[in-house]
């Protein structure tokens, strides 16, 4: 949860057009996140619609948003047969969220997470670069910012490797090996 608050504070002060951050997760996870935010922050509850599947007969994911006014909103992530589109600055997506949500909201600021048993966080940076799709997961005891630095370094290495392979391919075609 600390990484969510760090992201909020970083984006809140950095961007003039800051809209907020969102957390997408199943009910069981989101109720814990909401509980933590209520106990440990000064965020205000604005509109909370969160019901157990047994009571509401809704079994899909939920979206918790903390907006630019430090207000908490919770709503269903799925309406009818499809997932909603979110335009928040950062979207934390729990590992148990349906991949259809990720496809609907493809952008570079999706960060996957899971709640571990020893305060471990799993952070994934989901990237989509024109034709190259890849998912990279970093598991560590570090916070999300440190993990994203590791991911960025690995992305840089992968990009260099792609450049070298493309160059080797040009030599292959040039010499017709």
Per-residue pLDDT of 14-39, as tens digits, reads: 666 778 889 999 998 899 889 888 88
Note down the domain range covering 121. Answer: 2-175
Mean pLDDT of the residues in the chain: 77
The b-or-e profile of 105-116 (16+ CB within 10 A means b, else e) is beeeebbbbbbe
**Phi, psi dihedral angles at 42 (to 5 degrees):** -100, 15
Res. 122: pLDDT tops 90: no
Per the structure, the count of domains in the chain is: 1
Task: Tally Cβ neighbours within 10 Å of residue 123.
Answer: 24
Please state which of the ranges 7-11, 23-27, 59-63 shows the lowest mean pLDDT: 7-11
pTM over 0.85: no
With H, G, I as helix, E, B as strand and everything else as coil, classify residue 176: coil
Strand partners of residue 65: 22, 73
Q: Once rounded to an integer, what is the mean pLDDT over residues 143-160?
A: 73
More confidently predicted of 81 and 153: 81
pLDDT at 63 over 90: yes
Which region among 13-22, 62-71, 86-95 has the lowest average model confidence (pLDDT)?
13-22
In Å, how far are 9, 64, 71, 93 from 67, measured between CA atoms? 11, 10, 5, 17
């Amino acid at each position: 949860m600390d990484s969510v608050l760090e992201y909020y504070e970083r984006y809140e002060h950095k961007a003039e057009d800051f809209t907020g951050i969102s957390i997408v997760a199943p009910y069981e996870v989101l109720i814990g996140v909401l509980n933590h935010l209520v106990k440990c922050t000064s965020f205000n509850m604005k509109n909370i619609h969160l019901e157990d599947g047994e009571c509401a007969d809704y079994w899909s994911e939920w979206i918790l948003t903390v907006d630019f006014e430090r207000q908490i909103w919770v709503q269903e992530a799925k309406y009818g047969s499809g997932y909603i589109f979110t335009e928040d600055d950062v979207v934390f997506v729990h590992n148990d969220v349906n991949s259809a949500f990720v496809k609907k909201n493809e952008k570079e600021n999706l960060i996957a997470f899971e709640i571990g048993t020893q305060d471990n966080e799993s952070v994934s940076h989901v990237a989509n670069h024109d034709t190259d799709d890849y998912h990279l997961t970093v598991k560590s005891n570090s916070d999300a910012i440190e993990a994203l630095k590791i991911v960025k370094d690995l992305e840089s290495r992968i990009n260099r490797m792609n450049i070298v392979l493309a160059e080797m391919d040009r030599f292959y075609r040039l010499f017709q090996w």
